[in-house]
Structure 1
Amino acid sequence: MMVSVAGAGKTYGDHRALQHIYWQVKEGDWWGVVGPNGSGKSTLLQLIAGTESLSEGQISIDGRDIRSYSRKDLSRIIAVLQQDGLPAISYPVRDVVEMGRYPYQNWLGRESADGALVVDRVLEELGLTELADRPLDSLSGGQRQRVALAKVMAQEPRLLLLDEPTTFLDVHHQLQFMELLSRWRQHNAITIVAVLHDLNLATQFCDQLLGLRVGKPAVIGVPHTLMTEAHIEELFQVSSAIVKHPDNDLPQLLLRRKTE
């Protein structure tokens, strides 16, 4: 298992953000984590990333307790991409992507392998070569999110954690971003865990979905199993209709307005 979560919980003061989480992610899987605001989705990602400590339970990464890793060793396995991607700073695109090579550098900022070749390949794959010398703050939001993806690709992780990566993108760039992820996964067999608000995107791209509510697993399974009117009602307290996508028959969500 790439990720094994056994009885994980997280408490902040009197608030139990997560409790009784049992969950496993196989290497090469793409999981979507869904649920309403405040259900613990981002907290779960932070626990897996090692940026938050467990209050109870255990998390193992690649068969090893996450607490046994150094920060740098863990960053050679896991990369994290937040919803806001990268701030609009004046650094050139290439310099930002090169920051992804930090886990492989020694204390002098050098690495034994030729990281420049990795950076060049990633820039080419994401169509960023022509933008390599442009400052980040001169790019559009969609372009900056591509650079953010390039930075984590240059990190060469085996596990990619995404926290609502399409939140600030329009529908064109949302689809483009998810397709870039899909191709990267196919070519490199990486494992992806993504917190997503758009259930239709999650259904189209994820192998399996974990639905959280008030800090506990509410539903879990493949999209065909999870995307039902009953499960959507349980998770989000809304009425819905489920239809089949015309291209692949995957379930798609339509919300129903409440009538007085």
Structure 2
Amino acid sequence: RHLGIEKIRFAIGGSMGGQQVLEWAVTDPALFEQICLLATNAFHSPWGIAFNEAQRMAIEADPTLASDEPDAGMLGLEAARAIAMLSYRSYESYRRSQSEGTTEKTDDFLASSYQRYQGLKLRRRFDARAYLTLSKAMDSHQIGRGRGGAKAALAQVKAQALVIGIESDVLFPPEEQAFLAKNLPDAYLEIIDSHYGHDGFLIEYEQIATLVGDFMNKRFIEKNSKTTQSLHASFIRKALPGTERF
């Protein structure tokens, strides 16, 4: 508004970023022309909250967290990241990347070193207290709060929406994207076939770029018809040969 911008052509966000885009689209419905919601939801699930709580418990168990040192809570942060990786990826992702090439090992497994590597990598670029705060922010995401429920809130959105999920995502499962697409007034649902789990929204950028390009250039509109099938049936069809129009 300060810059005199009255309309935003396109907004895109994945995971927590998708939660933020959705919140903006509900708060100011006339602002956006199109939005893309990647691997996100209308409200954070008990499953997602439980994962975050387990991570916070790991950080809070680090006795250095209470200190004023800049590296306070960092061992806990490493453990928290290792826990988080189990929700970001999938069984198949680990099977493909961390399987051993020998039957003789009894320790020092690839999967073990991978978990520790991921924890150390985050420690080098993040802060334990910030991690606690951001995880709480994600837990509190509830688009229906103060708006009469999630369905009523989603009905207020005026932007045309492309909703993308990842078939193997256990943190933000495709049912959550199907719920969004079913209850947004003008939405298209696409479920990507990927073994990368939730991280597929970051890794499968070529598939996503194609979908976003088609969406922005209006190529979805003519080839998809309104569906009246149930949320469960939509998911069972795995959304879904091609793009599903809601």
Same fold by TM-score greater than 0.5: no
Q: TM-score, normalised by structure 1?
A: 0.27
Task: Give the structure with the higher percent strand.
Answer: 1
Q: TM-score, normalised by structure 2?
A: 0.28
